[in-house]
């Protein structure tokens, strides 16, 4: 079964690259967003199964977005990504309502699939 994915990152080049990477590995990228507000709106409209969410966004951080989408009727699985390592975000990341965290350097279809179970 193909997972539907919303890719959220403020860099368009990264979104384009991740879309190509995930689609080549069997995921169905249904949308992209560049800000936290766009991501929250897109979750409501597109209803993806997975949100691949950058921690650092220009308006609000990804953990705040994850908390917001966790309250929707059927929440998606959220995987946070960052160019920093998980330790940089401390306890806030450990308590976030997310499926997991991937450093951007380690992002692949296989690594995402392992987190999703």
1-83 homologous superfamily: Response regulator (3.40.50.2300)
Q: Quote the tokens at residue 30.
A: 């249904």
- 13 Cβ partners below 8 Å, 6+ apart? none
| pLDDT tens-digit map of 3-55 | 999 999 999 999 999 999 999 999 999 999 999 999 999 999 999 999 999 99
How many alpha carbons fall within 13 Å on the CB side of residue 4?
A: 11
What percent of the chain has pLDDT above 70? 99
Domain boundaries, the chain: 1-83
Q: Which residues pair with 83 in a beta bridge?
A: none
- Which pTM does this prediction carry? 0.95
Q: Please, are residues 70 and 96 in contact by the beta-carbon 8 Å criterion?
A: no
């Amino acid at each position: 079964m193909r997972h539907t994915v919303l890719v959220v990152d403020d860099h368009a080049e990264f979104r384009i690259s991740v879309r190509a990477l995930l689609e080549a590995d069997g995921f169905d990228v249904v949308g992209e967003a560049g800000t936290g507000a766009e991501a929250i709106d897109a979750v409501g409209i597109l209803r993806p199964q997975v949100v691949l969410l950058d921690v650092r966004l220009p308006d609000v951080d990804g953990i705040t977005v994850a908390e917001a989408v966790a309250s929707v009727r059927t929440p998606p699985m959220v995987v946070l990504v960052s160019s920093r390592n998980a330790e940089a975000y401390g306890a806030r990341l450990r308590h976030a309502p997310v499926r997991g965290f991937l450093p951007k350097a380690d992002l692949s279809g296989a690594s995402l699939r392992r987190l999703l179970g």
